[in-house]
Amino acid sequence: MAKLNFGGVEENVVTREEFPLDKARTMMANETIAIIGYGVQGPGQALNLKDNGFNVIVGQRKGSKTWDKAVSDGWVPGETLFEIEEAAAKGTIIQYLLSDAAQIAVWPQLKPHLTAGKALYFSHGFGITYNDRTGIVPPADIDVILVAPKGSGTSLRRLFLEGRGLNSSYAIFQDATGKAFDRVIALGIGIGSGYLFETDFKKEVYSDLTGERGTLMGAIQGIFEAQYQTLRRHGHSPSEAFNETVEELTQSLMPLVAENGMDWMYANCSTTAQRGALDWKDKFRDAVAPVFEDLYNSVATGNEAQKSIDSNSQPDYREKLEGELSELRNSEMWQAGRVVRSLRPESK
């Protein structure tokens, strides 16, 4: 394990150099990895592990759309694709990659197959951290581990195919066999992680829920809407408002940040842009800091988890979700975005 220094703060990390893929394959040689769920994270992790030479099977409800997707991705019914309980019985490592709500629903069927010596793997700390609400309490004689890629399963797969990787966090909740560390790191390398940084289940879910509701999704959409609507109120066209709000950020500036950091992006902008950004950043930070404190407290108290459990378990959840997403999709801002994207040179 290596230590990285972040401005005086040291973190434990594992890189591909110190834990190469060949070592991971050797450690997993006698393991059967059962991917339970083929929705968001399942396909990317399953296919990356398979392509990296691991023994992988998939468990999914027969007749579902995700079963059909698994078949189209090359998983063979009766050989590498099974019903959930059969896959769980066959697996020595159970990667529990269903949605949080589905994990709660399926847990009574899964738990009998978590026999001594197996490992239960998560990519989100939700079910374990809030187990007083989810009922997910693993047996004491299995390993309970986590690898959480810092991005979607689609991004994990795309970057893997490009020869790159997403960074991931890892955690050990329970080490019953003495092999939990080797198992979690081998799996993290196997799914294509860039590097793995240490956390625990609670910190993972607190940071994840805060990030999703904050800068990764909720806050950024709110900021987009506020700026776009301000420009439109003052007479700017949809094309101008969208390009200045979203297109320039995502297509020009954020790639510069990803490449070398915010200071490098600033250095590659006009002096007028630099001055304005530096003058206004503190005002924006101070304005939203109380909102982030409220958000983090809502996560830490379990309020956000309970809202998610309550809404996602409703029988009409999917219909309501589609209604909300449709409203977003059909807003003027994202209608403008559809047109702008179609006019990018690479789309022609």
- 254 SS3 class: helix
Three-state secondary structure call for residue 86: helix
Read off φ and ψ for residue 124, nearest 5 degrees. Answer: -155, 140
- Helix H or strand E segment including 220: helix 218-233
Under a CB-based contact definition with an 8 Å cutoff, are residues 39 and 16 in contact? Answer: no
Question: If you write DSSP's letter for every residue of 15-64 in order, what string do you get?
Answer: ETTTS-HHHHHHHTTT--EEEE--SSSHHHHHHHHHHTT--EEEE--TTS
**How many Cβ atoms are within 10 Å of 295's Cβ, its own excluded?**
19
DSSP state of 174: E
Strands 166-174 and 143-149: what pairing? antiparallel
Q: Is the dihedral of CA 144, 145, 148, 149 positive or negative?
A: negative
Return the structure tokens found at 49: 């592990």
Coil vs helix vs strand at 147: strand
Q: Which residues contact 149 (CB under 8 A, 6 or more apart)?
A: 41, 44, 45, 123, 155, 156, 166, 167, 168, 191, 193
Active-site residue flag, 124? yes
- Catalytic-labelled residue, pool 113, 124, 234, 236: 124
Which residues form the catalytic set? 124
